[in-house]
Amino acid sequence: MELSDRQEKIIVIVKENGPITGEQIADTLSLSRATLRPDLAILTMAGFLEARPRVGYFYTGKTGSELLTEKIKKYKIKAFQSVPVVVKEHSSVYDAISTMFLGDVGTLFVVDDNSCLTGVLSRKDLLRASMGQKDLDAVPVHIIMTRMPNITICEPEDLLIDGAKKLIDKQIDGLPVVKETKQGLQVVGRITKTTITKVFVELIMDEI
């Protein structure tokens, strides 16, 4: 976030004189309280200043990068998850390849009739299964899929940064977002490396 010259001056004033009221800040800058109000609102919402009723403004002591880090650490997966691309466990390898191609994804989640997670398919899994196979319609995906407990998962309330760390640590392209039900782990979304990249790029661009 790029601050204006006046906003930079406000931060210096509050840093040196806080707690200080908005009226006192306005007097120092020879401005009206109404003129200053938008700047104070921006600086408070951005986290540079803290406002306390009947006391005044305080300088938080946090840099722009620290505020950005705090913001990232509050993001939860549920706000960024996308629609999962799934296949049933009795689907054929041919159907799975078609679904992956049409969905333009790198990972498929295999589910049972209750939409509960039973496996995961990667591009490598499908490529390996298709090599040397003459009839891909005859091979069900449950034969080649990765099964629990070897599947890395996340939940909607998990932090986005934790999901990103799992993707990096496991060197995988996507995570199923699941919620626990009586039938099992129901797949409700997905988080991918592309999702994480878009979020971080948009966040940084907003701060420039």
The pLDDT tens digits for 28-73 are: 999 998 999 999 988 888 788 888 888 899 888 776 666 667 778 8
Q: Alpha-carbon distance 86 to 54, whole Å?
A: 56
What is the predicted pLDDT for the residue at 1?
Answer: 60
Average pLDDT, the chain: 89
Q: Alpha-carbon distance 25 to 31, whole Å?
A: 8
Burial (CB < 10 A; 0-12, 13-18, 19+), residue 53, is exposed
CATH among 1.10.10.410, 1.20.272.10, 3.40.250.10, 3.10.580.10 for 77-201? 3.10.580.10
Strands (E), 12-95: 49-52, 56-59, 86-88
Higher-pLDDT residue of 71, 204:
71
For residues 1-8, give the mean pLDDT.
83
What is the predicted pLDDT for the residue at 74?
Answer: 84
Question: What are the extents of the domains in the chain?
Answer: 5-61, 77-201
Among candidate residues 111, 65, 86, 107, the one with its CA nearest the CA of residue 195? 107
> pTM for the whole thing?
0.69
Q: Is it the case that residue 145 has pLDDT exceeding 80?
A: yes
Torsion angle (degrees, nearest 10) of CA 150, 154, 158, 162: 60
Distance from the first to the final alpha carbon of the chain: 5
Cβ neighbours, 10 Å, residue 191: 24
pLDDT in tens, 80-137: 999 999 999 999 999 999 999 999 999 999 999 989 999 999 999 999 888 876 788 8
CATH for 5-61 is 1.10.10.10
Identify whether the C-beta of residue 11 lies closer than 8 Å to the C-beta of residue 36: no
For residues 140-167, give the mean pLDDT.
94
What is the band of 208 on the pLDDT scale with cuts at 50, 70, 90?
very low
Q: Is it the case that residue 8 has pLDDT exceeding 80?
A: yes
Domains 5-61 and 77-201 belong to one CATH topology: no
What is residue 128's three-state secondary structure?
A: helix
Cβ neighbours, 10 Å, residue 174: 24
